[in-house]
Every structure is written in structure tokens, then in C-alpha cells.
Chain A
Amino acid sequence: MVDFLKRQVHALRESAKLFFLIAAATLGTVLLNGIVVGYLVAAYLELESEGKVEELSVFLYGSLAGVIASFAIVGVGFIYSLMKARHGGVGVAEALGGKLLSEIPSTPALLRLRNVAEEMAIAYSLPMPALYVLEGQRGINAFAAGFTPQSAVIGVTEGCVELLNRDQLQGVIAHEFSHVYYGDMRLNMQLTSIVNGLRSITLVGDALIDTGRMELEHARWNSHRQHKRAGGGYALIVLGSAMWVVGLVGSSFASLLVLAVSRQREFLADARAVQATRNPRGLADALRRIAGLQVGGRIRISAAREVSHLMFSQACGRSSDIFATHPPLATRILALDPTWDRTPLFESYEELSEYNGAFGEAIASIGGIGLAAGTPSRPNSRPNETANQSEVALPVAVHTREVAATDENIDPALAGFVADPLVIHCSLPMLMFWDHPQRSIVEAIFKSGKQAEILLAIEQLLSTHDQLTRSRLLNITLRALRRATTSEKTATLDNVAILASQTSDQDWDSLAWLWLARYYAGAEQIPQSKPLHGQIDQLVEPILEVLSVASQIDGGEAMSEFSFQRGWTQLGLEHATSLPSDVLHWQEVLAAIRTLACASPRIKRDLLVALGCTFTGDGELSHGEIAFLRLVRLHLGAEDTDLLAAPRTQKKQCLASTC
């Protein structure tokens, strides 16, 4: 059990550290500004009076005056900003387009919302805040605003009311009550006012630059006798620029710190919410629900940007950098539930396919097939839903995140041994069948003589490495096979033929690997296909076969129908169920793939997307799935890539970047 009280103490301590840093930044900026001003004034006076003044004392007094003036500027800016922000919670709610929820709500969902909020008011011993609903906002988000618990308001989006169940809604509302409880709205406003105060140094600098410019203009128009005035103008511009730079640097630094505070307060609110509800599950599920939603927590209203720090989850922008107001969703969920398996929550097939569509697009776009990545090509896709594909990570990332291995990370001696043309006929079958239940058939081929020794050595070598390294080695070995001599290829092909004769007709992934081996040995050709520009409806049969096979790789009976539907729903075809494995045969499947090779590039791309979705049902690409996907991709005319070598940028945390 996670100690959520300790969490709160930790978050409070972290924000205390940040407060100290903010104070230091403010003080530092003010002092620096004072000293710069003092120095410039001293230098100017010395220049003007030609050395008649006492330099040091002018500098000291100038600095002192500068520091005092800076304090005054920051102070005035701070107070002005504070006054301006005092419009209370109702103002925020109305700016966001919220509608006040009446005492007696009209629909069951709204009644539930009011009840949950009243329950939480009791749990927190706080007065019941006014409730607002942001109608028409389909994302899941909520906010708290107002500077005292008495004047606080809580608002939720329509998506929040409609899509969350009671426990999840309770978690969200409790989180907002935590912000009220800890006075985070006032805190944030005060911190923001400090930043604005620092920014006003920049404003004063701006004003000085303008004045200096005007002096220069005057000097230019009113003849050349006003040298002195021109000199003063230049001095003012220099002084203003210096203040402008100091103010900008100081306020930028401070605003980054304020954002860090904001992220800490989110953790604090999450932990406090669990203490109040005694139920980490509800809150974690609400966050997972956001992760599973294409719109996530986004609010489509321009005013949302200004109050995004008050929200339940990231309302705009991305949540993985230092400019984010909220920690990444994945981090928050893991803090609530350390055993979380990194899956989002979905409500329906449609939502699922929206989410996975993006995954599939990512897979299809690696070494693409001639269509620009990100082109919305699905007939049923609405334009704005594909807009954020680039933010979605490949699901393989879950596994490969830590390793992020490239071929360079692999010991060259190991790769050199395994991919030695002389041992390929041994190592290749071993690598392909390593995790196969019938690995013994490989061992049976090499029963005797020198081959057995080599096999033993390879087995020992490989057993000390992980699955990912083996996949890399397999890829290196395949490429080495292409460069091997004819006799070496023949030896490999002989072994492949033996293996093929012992593999069942429905062992799809083994068959796919064997096909790839033959292809790299030059024994298989991809027939040149003439593109026929037909409609996708004419290709239903082959697509059905290919997707059925894809769904059967690496999954039990129960999962395979689910995986199939994930892919099938991408294509916008009529409803269908997957074919059972006993009506499918490898040669027919190959024929189906060849038929699909004649489709138009657009259909090919859609097919790859669907295939990607089918394979990613379990959140990762397995050994066998990679083989089949590579086979299909080769036939469809995409270049063959080791699919594990997807661009690094797409390999970030699975969820961190979706919301």
C-alpha cells in the first residue's frame, strides 16, 4: 500500500524548495538590475563630467537607488497584477463558458455530479462550492477557481459528466476539492503576480528605450548643437536595454519555477484526493480514461490557456516538457497505482479504433509506401482526429523504452560470430525458433558432428541475452545471409526446408520467418504487381484472410477476435468476424497478400494501418508479429525495415505524449 500521507508531505516539501528558489530568483533579479543600473549611471556620469566625480561612491549610491527602484517596480507590478486577478472563481467559470448547475439538476448524470460534489464537501469539511458545467466540451477535464473556500467554484466538462462512472467522477471532484483545500488557486495567483512583477522591469526598460529614442529624434531635428541631449538619449537606450534583458531573464526563470510548483501541487492534490476518498482506483481510472480518449483533457476554448494550471489535467499544449502545467498522465497514474500495466481505459470500439488508428499510422509510416505520413486516408476519419498522430508513440515503445537499442549497442564480437556466413545455417534457425514451443526440431536437425557443437555454442551465447538483443541479432543475420556465398545460402535453405516440412500449416509466425529467410537467401521473389486502382470493397476477401491470420499470431482464441476487430474497424468496411484458423492455409494467405499488392497505394496504406492496429492489441509487437508484418510490407512494396528501429522520437513513454 502506498503511503499517501507521506506523498503529501513530500509534495509539500518539494514546493517549499521551489518557493525558496522563486524568492531567490526574485531577489537575484532585483539586485542584478540595481547593480547594472548603478554601474551604467556611474559610467555615464563619469563620461559626462570627464572624471570629476568620485566613481565608486556614485556606483554604490546608484546601485542602491537602482535596487530600491527595482523593488518598487516589482512591488507595484505585483500588486497591480494581484488586483487585476481578483475577479474570483465565478469570473473564471464564466470566461470558460461554464453554465451554473441548478440546485435540482435536470438529468440523472447531472444529479450524480451534484451528489458526488456534496459528498466530497462533507469529506473535506468544506462549504459546498458552486458547480459549473462546460457544455459541449467532450474532453475530460475539471477546474477549481476562487481564492477562498467560501468563494470557490468547481467546473467540469461535459465529457467528465458523461464518460466517467461514479468512482472516477468522485476522484476528479476530490482532486479539485484538494486544490480548494490547499488554497492552490490563491497560491498560483500570487506566484504568477511575482512573475508579472519581474516582467514589469522589462516594461520599464521598454519605456526607457522609447524615451531615449524620442530624445535622439529631438536632437536630430533641433540642429547639431544638442550633443548633450543625444548623449542622454543613447544612455537611456543602453540603460533600458539592460533592464529589459535582466527583467526578461529573471521573469522567464521565475515562470519556469512557477510551472514546476504547479506540477508539484498536482501530485499533492492527487494524494490528498486519495486520502479523502480512500480509493486510489477511481482517480487512477479517471486518468486512464483521459489517456484512452483522443481529445484527452483538451478544452477547445482560448480562455483555457490562461487558467490551464487550475485544471484537472493538461488542457492545452503537451505535458512532457518544462512548460507543462501538469505532470505527464503516466507519471500520475503510476504514482497512484505502481502496478499499472500502462493501458488506457476505453469505452467503445470506436474510441479504441481512434486511438489505435494513430498507432497503426505510426507503424505504416515507417519507411512508408509513397504516401505522405499523416494523410488522413481512412474513409471514416474526421479531419481533426488525425491531427495529433505524431504525438502518439509506437506501442513497441513499452518494451524497448529502457533499452532503446540500436545495432551499435550490440557487442560486435557477438554479432560477428552469430552472423558469420559459415554459421548462418545454424544460427538463423536458432534465432527464429528461440521462443518457439518446438525449438527441439531445430536441435533435432543438428544432431551430429560439428554442427551440434556450433549450435551448443550459439545456444549458450544467446541464452545470456534478452529478447530484444536476439531480435537485433536475427536482423543482422538476415542481412548477412544476403551477402553470403551460394553454397552457404544453399546450406541455410536446406535447413529452412527441413524446418518448413516440420512446421504446421497454421504456425503463421514460423512460416513468415521461414519465408523471410528464403527471401534473403534469394529463393523467394516478390512478383511484380500491376497496380489496379479499384475500390477497397473488391478486396474484402483477401483483407479478411490477412487480418484473420494477423489476429491469430501470438494470442489465444479469446484475444484474437478482439485484435481482429481492432484492425477491421479501421477500414470502414461492413461488419465481419475473423475466419477460424482451420479454413486458412499458408499458400492461400500468401496468394491473398499478393492480391493485395495490386491495390492502390492508399488502400495499401490503410491496410498497413489496420494490420498495425491488429498487432498492437497487447501493446507491443512480438517476435512473430514482426515477421508477418515485414512479410506483408515487403509484398506491398514498402522497404523492409527492422521494425524495432523505429525513429527514436516515437519511442517515448506510451502515454506521456498522448495527453
Chain B
Amino acid sequence: MVSNSLVLLVLLSGFAAATLVVFVLVGRIYNQLVGLKNLAQNGFGQIEIQLKRRYDLIPNLVECVKTYLTHERETLHAVIAARNQASTQLAAVNHQVTNPQAIQGLASAESVLGGALSRMSFVMESYPELKGNEVVAQLTEELASTENRIAFARQVYNDSVTNFNVHRQSFPTVLLATTLGFAEDLTLLEFENAAALQDAPKVAFA
């Protein structure tokens, strides 16, 4: 009799130990996923801050150059329109890193804005008196810096997204990821400026 209850005790404690181990392991996997996802989300937050900064700078710059570029009203309008569109898209994304549609929308709006901006700076090149304007120079520097910040923030974000995705897809995490609520990969953020850049301003001979 004694031996029977002893066996039971051993079995029970073995089971308890195994449960504990599984619990700890699952907990670790879950915590890692949460940590990595938050890191990526934080990275995206940084991009959002810089994008907002950019959207705030653009109207200021347009306001400043408007008096010089009286014949380029179309270009300026395009910049403002693209800026407004991108701003709306950013609001739509609303910190949702896992929503691929919203991110795609933002990316394409950003592409359009990038194209419009590069056209504007192309036009500005042909107005030497703009370069002498201190405020314009300062705004241009700020805008250039912001573009860099966006690029670097995107780099950091994409690195952390890749990190998360690799971790999610590797063994043993892949077995549990869906059950734990991490069914989706995060989306990399790419702004494709290439198409818009090729669309150079037309030169008209009057």
C-alpha cells in the first residue's frame, strides 16, 4: 500500500514539474514575442513622430517660397495636396503596425509626396534668390534632416520587424505563435519614390 501511494506521489510531482516547465517555456516565448513586437511598434512610433514633423514643416516652406515661385503655383498645389493626403493616411494607420492595408496606403501617399517635394526642390534650384533667404535655407535644412530621420527610423523599424518575423517563424515559436495571438507577420515599410522621381517636370519652350 505504501509503495502504491509513493508511486502516485512521484507521478503527480513529475506531472506538476512537467506542467511547470511547459508553463515557463510558453511564458518565455510569449514574453519574447511581446517584447519584440513592442520594440517594432516603438520604432513605428518614431517614424510617425518624424512624419508628423515633416507634414508640419511642408506648409511653412511652401508659404515661404510662394512669394518667389509665382509661376509655379501648380507645383506648390501638388505638394500641399500630397501632404494632406499623406497626413490623412498617417492618421488612418493610427499605431496599427499589423494592418498591412493602412501601411500600404501610407507608403503610397508618401511616395506621391516624395515625388512632389523633389519636383519642388528641382524648381527651387532655378531661383537663386531663394538660396539667399535665411528662413528658406533653415527650413530646407530642417526638411532634409527630417527626411534623413525618417529614413533612419524606417531602417530601425524594418530591422526590428525583420527580427520579430524571424523569431515568430522559427522553431519552437512557430508552433505556438498563432495560439498566442501572433498569427501575422509585421509589414516592412517601403516608400517607393522611384516611380514618382522618374516623372520629371516637363520643360516647355514658349
Q: Which residue of B lies closest to A115 (CB)?
A: B145
B141 touches A122 (CB 8 A): no
B141 touches A123 (CB 8 A): no
Q: Convert B121-151 into 0s and 1s, putting 1 for each residue whose CB lies closer than 8 angstroms to a CB of A.
A: 0000000000000000110011001001100
B152 touches A115 (CB 8 A): no
Interfacial chain B residues near A118, Cβ < 8 Å:
145, 149
Once bound together, how far apart are the Cα atoms of A276 and B152, in whole Å? 8
A122 touches B46 (CB 8 A): yes
Q: Kindly state whether residue A415 has any CB partner on chain B within 8 Å.
A: no
> How many residues of chain A get a CB closer than 8 Å to chain B's CBs?
13
Interfacial chain A residues near B156, Cβ < 8 Å:
122-123, 125
B153 touches A115 (CB 8 A): no
Q: Kindly state whether residue B104 has any CB partner on chain A within 8 Å.
A: no
Q: Kindly state whether residue A108 has any CB partner on chain B within 8 Å.
A: yes
B152 touches A108 (CB 8 A): no
Which of A108, A119, A276 has the largest number of chain B CB atoms within 10 A? Answer: A119
Select one of A111, A119, A276 contacting B149, CB under 8 A.
A119
Q: Convert A104-117 into 0s and 1s, putting 1 for each residue whose CB lies closer than 8 angstroms to a CB of B.
A: 00001001100110
Interfacial chain B residues near A122, Cβ < 8 Å:
46, 50, 149, 152-153, 156
- From 62 to 93 in chain A, residues with beta carbon under 8 angstroms from any chain B beta carbon are none
Interfacial chain B residues near A278, Cβ < 8 Å:
155
Interfacial chain A residues near B145, Cβ < 8 Å:
112, 115-116, 118-119
- From 116 to 130 in chain A, residues with beta carbon under 8 angstroms from any chain B beta carbon are 116, 118-120, 122-123, 125
B141 touches A112 (CB 8 A): yes
B148 touches A119 (CB 8 A): yes
Which of A111, A112, A120, A125 has the largest number of chain B CB atoms within 10 A? Answer: A125
B153 touches A111 (CB 8 A): no
Once bound together, how far apart are the Cα atoms of A637 and B149, in whole Å? 63
The B contact surface, by secondary structure, is helix
A108 touches B137 (CB 8 A): yes
Which of A119, A120, A122 has the largest number of chain B CB atoms within 10 A? Answer: A122
B138 touches A123 (CB 8 A): no
Once bound together, how far apart are the Cα atoms of A120 and B153, in whole Å? 10
Q: Which residue of B lies closest to A114 (CB)?
A: B145
Select one of A108, A116, A276 contacting B138, CB under 8 A.
A108
Once bound together, how far apart are the Cα atoms of A304 and B18, in whole Å? 61
Once bound together, how far apart are the Cα atoms of A213 and B137, in whole Å? 73
Select one of A108, A120, A125, A276 contacting B141, CB under 8 A.
A108
A175 to chain B, nearest CB (A): 16
B165 to chain A, nearest CB (A): 18
Once bound together, how far apart are the Cα atoms of A408 and B148, in whole Å? 58
Q: Which residue of B lies closest to A112 (CB)?
A: B141
Once bound together, how far apart are the Cα atoms of A45 and B137, in whole Å? 83
Once bound together, how far apart are the Cα atoms of A276 and B149, in whole Å? 12
Q: Which residue of A lies closest to B147 (CB)?
A: A119
Once bound together, how far apart are the Cα atoms of A182 and B46, in whole Å? 22
B142 touches A123 (CB 8 A): no
Known A115-B145, A116-B145: A123·B152 in contact at CB below 8 Å: yes
Once bound together, how far apart are the Cα atoms of A122 and B145, in whole Å? 12
B138 touches A111 (CB 8 A): yes
Interfacial chain A residues near B152, Cβ < 8 Å:
119-120, 122-123, 276
A654 to chain B, nearest CB (A): 34
- From 145 to 198 in chain B, residues with beta carbon under 8 angstroms from any chain A beta carbon are 145, 148-149, 152-153, 155-156
Once bound together, how far apart are the Cα atoms of A17 and B38, in whole Å? 36
Q: Which residue of B lies closest to A116 (CB)?
A: B145
- From 38 to 86 in chain B, residues with beta carbon under 8 angstroms from any chain A beta carbon are 43, 46, 50
Q: Which residue of B lies closest to A278 (CB)?
A: B155
Once bound together, how far apart are the Cα atoms of A496 and B148, in whole Å? 66
B49 to chain A, nearest CB (A): 9
Q: Which residue of B lies closest to A170 (CB)?
A: B148
Once bound together, how far apart are the Cα atoms of A111 and B43, in whole Å? 25
Interfacial chain B residues near A120, Cβ < 8 Å:
152
Once bound together, how far apart are the Cα atoms of A122 and B160, in whole Å? 13
A227 to chain B, nearest CB (A): 74
A215 to chain B, nearest CB (A): 65
Once bound together, how far apart are the Cα atoms of A111 and B142, in whole Å? 9
Once bound together, how far apart are the Cα atoms of A276 and B145, in whole Å? 16
A171 to chain B, nearest CB (A): 13
Once bound together, how far apart are the Cα atoms of A118 and B145, in whole Å? 9
Interfacial chain B residues near A112, Cβ < 8 Å:
141, 145
Once bound together, how far apart are the Cα atoms of A123 and B141, in whole Å? 18
Q: Which residue of A lies closest to B160 (CB)?
A: A125
Interfacial chain A residues near B155, Cβ < 8 Å:
123, 278
Interfacial chain B residues near A108, Cβ < 8 Å:
137-138, 141
Interfacial chain A residues near B43, Cβ < 8 Å:
125
B133 to chain A, nearest CB (A): 12
Q: Which residue of A lies closest to B50 (CB)?
A: A122
Once bound together, how far apart are the Cα atoms of A122 and B46, in whole Å? 8
A115 touches B46 (CB 8 A): no
Once bound together, how far apart are the Cα atoms of A115 and B138, in whole Å? 11
Once bound together, how far apart are the Cα atoms of A276 and B156, in whole Å? 9
A128 to chain B, nearest CB (A): 12
Once bound together, how far apart are the Cα atoms of A122 and B156, in whole Å? 8
Interfacial chain B residues near A115, Cβ < 8 Å:
141-142, 145, 148
Interfacial chain B residues near A119, Cβ < 8 Å:
145, 148-149, 152
Which of B149, B152, B155 has the largest number of chain A CB atoms within 10 A? Answer: B152
A169 to chain B, nearest CB (A): 12
- From 491 to 537 in chain A, residues with beta carbon under 8 angstroms from any chain B beta carbon are none
A282 to chain B, nearest CB (A): 12
Known A122-B153, A122-B156: A111·B141 in contact at CB below 8 Å: yes
Once bound together, how far apart are the Cα atoms of A111 and B149, in whole Å? 15
Q: Which residue of A lies closest to B152 (CB)?
A: A123
Q: Which residue of A lies closest to B46 (CB)?
A: A122
A172 to chain B, nearest CB (A): 15
Once bound together, how far apart are the Cα atoms of A241 and B132, in whole Å? 72
Once bound together, how far apart are the Cα atoms of A123 and B150, in whole Å? 10
- From 93 to 142 in chain B, residues with beta carbon under 8 angstroms from any chain A beta carbon are 137-138, 141-142
A275 to chain B, nearest CB (A): 10
Once bound together, how far apart are the Cα atoms of A111 and B139, in whole Å? 11
Interfacial chain A residues near B142, Cβ < 8 Å:
115
Which of B46, B148, B153, B155 has the largest number of chain A CB atoms within 10 A? Answer: B148
Q: Which residue of A lies closest to B49 (CB)?
A: A122
Q: Which residue of A lies closest to B42 (CB)?
A: A125
Once bound together, how far apart are the Cα atoms of A115 and B155, in whole Å? 18
A462 to chain B, nearest CB (A): 55
Going nearest first, the 3 A-B pairs with the smallest beta carbon separation are: A115-B145, A123-B152, A119-B148
Q: A111-B138, A112-B141 are in contact. List 19 more A-B contacts (CB 8 A).
A: A108-B137, A108-B138, A108-B141, A111-B141, A112-B145, A115-B145, A116-B145, A119-B145, A119-B148, A119-B149, A119-B152, A120-B152, A122-B50, A122-B152, A122-B153, A122-B156, A123-B155, A125-B43, A125-B156
> Which B residues are within 8 Å of any A CB, using their own CB?
43, 46, 50, 137-138, 141-142, 145, 148-149, 152-153, 155-156
Q: Can you list 5 pairs linking A and B with CB atoms under 8 Å apart?
A: A108-B141, A115-B148, A118-B145, A118-B149, A123-B156
